[in-house]
Structure 1
């Protein structure tokens, strides 16, 4: 069974002026891509205009690509369609013509429930041989999968609180009512949702959204109305600075990662000399690298190599890694995007550099061990907002309750939304009222509590200073090591 790896090209589909598929042009395009060293072809995705083509045209394109490729490299065909029936038909066709695997996006337009998404992919899987690779192609704005996980965390927290009789404020018991709005991941829809929740539903507080852009857009509305809002996984610093004094977040900001990464290198790995390999074309990577250097040196450590590369197109890191190899570094810090890490890790191992490897939150991604190889990520350290196998009793209780209710482990989104409910309830109790939003805001600001994701306090900019989970890859699986408190 073949897997996606390396550089995968989403192919365009050429048409003539009469909107007929140009098969000869497709053949030339296949040869062009293979000759230039790409690793896998992916026809009929969004770039391939799949939603604008009928089933027969899509079959014709798939047949042409597979035939022209002639097994020189893998071909994974996108088969997602508006109807499950059509997706299954295209999936069967792909397996019959010799494709190496398929990808399938969920039907668009309507946001699907988790059960309907499961049923959709189950039907697709049953339409092809058991060992035929099927990749799930998720566009969160269409499937609402990210939002579903956030909902799970809120639902569990509210269920636990309400089943216990609610919570006491000023001698009176209160329960929680959930009012949901789907922002589809879009700022303008988030603005409308905030206005409805504040003006029509008269909510006491808002949890979400989970993305930075929508929260940056809608946050000022919450502050203007004096309604506290907590973003769940929105890490851009502008979320709170632009949003104003009533906007908080449950996750770290990007610069805070540098602090905990520096402490991990010093306290957990015992390093005094660290090398950094970062992208100077990525603000996230370069900013984190610079902040890490500052924090590690403040702890008495030395940055013995600070090596930059020119962004995601860089494939050969030998020059930078040679400098690192000669620097005497005990640890190499890779604060880079998940898609760039596998090649870097592989080349470090191939060169036999005698140093431990560590990273930040980007490492908490199944593609890293899958593409780099389990043997290459073995023993690599990184930080995460949550660890399902944490030994912390609060984390364990949450994970067990989540597994019992949903049948699988919580992820970052569900944990941050669960945390957000707990933060609000704790603040209501300490505020002593449910009708004074300013008192509630002040109580949230003064939060000091243990949560499934660790201990949390807010700084003056309403960003959490919270515990970080140190993780290490063992047999390709993120495994909890310890916790670093702020």
Structure 2
């Protein structure tokens, strides 16, 4: 009897061991239903795919940015996985609601999930909040759109696909001066936003170098971005013939609407955060006619790569992709190129991959939707040329 019981116990233990090693036939791959939860993609077993995580505002007032980045990254992941090559990805996004404290929770959830590579944060303040954690945990991050200097400063493993804020400010002043777009410049910026204030500071410095006359500088905050009458009247009374708007397009759409209502019609010049203003719900896009901006991506470009991306994005998500979506798409493909160059494999831990990514990106030259011949320096800053765009007949046209 004892012998029979021992055999039964041994059999049970063997069955348990086989199940733990995948002997049941379940290799750990997620189903499509599982993958739909939390923005996670499937299609490959976890043991054969690199786990890429990111956090951004998927709900709340800034959700348009986070969802665009997540959707753009998802398209790239699906394309790469469909090719069936050695590089495969799992993608998971967590909602940070554009809140630094919730970004920390999102990061910890991704870390617990087993994130090996990161897309960091979509917006700058939440990305700043988790950048130190990425650095301490040695998880490499390539953010599509968090452009503040503080995101990468002092951290050797945080890189950016977007322009840094200072670069945008300098480039905008140079462009306005070189193209002789205005003689008296007004600036309206958001003083509680590192993206907006960072661009303004460099713009003001370069404007002085270029001899641009800034006649009005006014600000607003998240709590006050509903009424811009004071700012617009100040610009108008100062005789500004061009208003520089270093901000996201939600506030910019209100400024254009209110300027029209008061009969003020200067030239308006914006930055990459204004890309997508034509998609703001309830906004009269005719008011954006003639608006100029610098952006790395033009959804109306006629090259085959852009047309294919726009068609796929529109079909899947019912909207025209903006710069956030295009930069996130490029992030995934840049990761693919870097992983291939480094000879990396998905069984490597995050710290090992971090070292390999730092080395690979230092020698990488990458062609994407948002630029050709892109390179990165040791600070994580990307080198690529912005494109001057003007809105004509409801579409972006190169200047």
TM-score range, shorter chain: 0.5 to 0.7
> Does residue 305 of the first structure (1) align with residue 220 of the second (2)?
no
> SS at the partner of 1:457?
strand
Distance 1:426 1:415 in 2: 17
Distance 1:209 1:240 in 2: 12
Distance 2:81 2:190 in 1: 50
**Which residue of 322, 346, 349 corresponds with 2:260?**
346
**Which residue of 383, 396, 399 corresponds with 1:465?**
383
Whether contact under 8 Å (1:471, 1:478) holds in the other structure is no
Whether contact under 8 Å (1:334, 1:357) holds in the other structure is yes
Q: What is the CA deviation profile of residues 393-416 of structure 1, one whole-angstrom value per residue up to 9, with x for unaligned ones?
A: 432332234345555432333322
Which one scores higher on RCO, CA 8 angstroms, separation ≥ 6? 2
Distance 2:303 2:206 in 1: 27
Distance 2:228 2:119 in 1: 39
Distance 1:266 1:322 in 2: 22
Where does residue 237 of structure 2 map in the other structure? 322
**Which residue of 471, 474, 478 corresponds with 2:392?**
474
Whether contact under 8 Å (1:195, 1:221) holds in the other structure is no
> Structure 2 matches for 1:189-268, cutoff 5 A?
189-197=105-113, 201=114, 203-241=115-153, 244-267=155-178
Which range moves more in the overlay, 337-346 or 255-264? 337-346
From the superposition, tell whether residues 375 and 212 of structure 1 become closer, same or farther in structure 2 (CA, over 3 Å): closer
> SS at the partner of 1:338?
helix
Distance 2:292 2:281 in 1: 12
Whether contact under 8 Å (1:149, 1:411) holds in the other structure is yes
Distance 1:439 1:192 in 2: 23
**Which residue of 204, 228, 251 corresponds with 1:293?**
204
The structure where helix makes up a greater share of residues is: 2
Whether contact under 8 Å (1:153, 1:414) holds in the other structure is yes
From the superposition, tell whether residues 140 and 302 of structure 1 become closer, same or farther in structure 2 (CA, over 3 Å): same
From the superposition, tell whether residues 306 and 290 of structure 1 become closer, same or farther in structure 2 (CA, over 3 Å): farther
**Which residue of 437, 449, 463 corresponds with 2:366?**
449
Which ranges in structure 2 are unaligned for 5 or more consecutive residues?
Answer: 1-36, 40-56
Q: What is the CA deviation profile of residues 404-449 of structure 1, one whole-angstrom value per residue up to 9, with x for unaligned ones?
A: 5555432333322211111111111222334442122221233322
**Which residue of 334, 337, 354 corresponds with 1:426?**
337
**Which residue of 185, 190, 197 corresponds with 1:275?**
185
Whether contact under 8 Å (2:166, 2:201) holds in the other structure is no
TM-score relative to the length of structure 1: 0.57
* Offset of residue 381 of structure 1: 0.8
> SS at the partner of 2:344?
coil
* Offset of residue 307 of structure 1: 0.9
Q: Give the number of aligned pairs.
A: 325
* Offset of residue 341 of structure 1: 1.9
Q: What is the CA deviation profile of residues 182-234 of structure 1, one whole-angstrom value per residue up to 9, with x for unaligned ones?
A: 2444223223124314xxx3x54222432334432333333233331122222
* Offset of residue 366 of structure 1: 4.0
Which ranges in structure 1 are unaligned for 5 or more consecutive residues?
Answer: 1-110, 114-137, 167-173
Where does residue 82 of structure 2 map in the other structure? 163
Q: What is the CA deviation profile of residues 29-59 of structure 1, one whole-angstrom value per residue up to 9, with x for unaligned ones?
A: xxxxxxxxxxxxxxxxxxxxxxxxxxxxxxx
From the superposition, tell whether residues 304 and 219 of structure 1 become closer, same or farther in structure 2 (CA, over 3 Å): closer
> SS at the partner of 1:140?
coil
Q: What is the CA deviation profile of residues 301-336 of structure 1, one whole-angstrom value per residue up to 9, with x for unaligned ones?
A: 3212331235355514445423335xxx6x443335
* Offset of residue 462 of structure 1: 0.8
From the superposition, tell whether residues 221 and 213 of structure 1 become closer, same or farther in structure 2 (CA, over 3 Å): same
Distance 2:254 2:299 in 1: 26
Q: What is the CA deviation profile of residues 158-180 of structure 1, one whole-angstrom value per residue up to 9, with x for unaligned ones?
A: 232233331xxxxxxx1313052
> SS at the partner of 2:163?
coil
TM-score relative to the length of structure 2: 0.68
Where does residue 153 of structure 1 map in the other structure? 72
From the superposition, tell whether residues 442 and 306 of structure 1 become closer, same or farther in structure 2 (CA, over 3 Å): farther
Distance 2:370 2:272 in 1: 14
Distance 2:126 2:335 in 1: 21
> SS at the partner of 2:153?
helix
Where does residue 33 of structure 1 map in the other structure? none
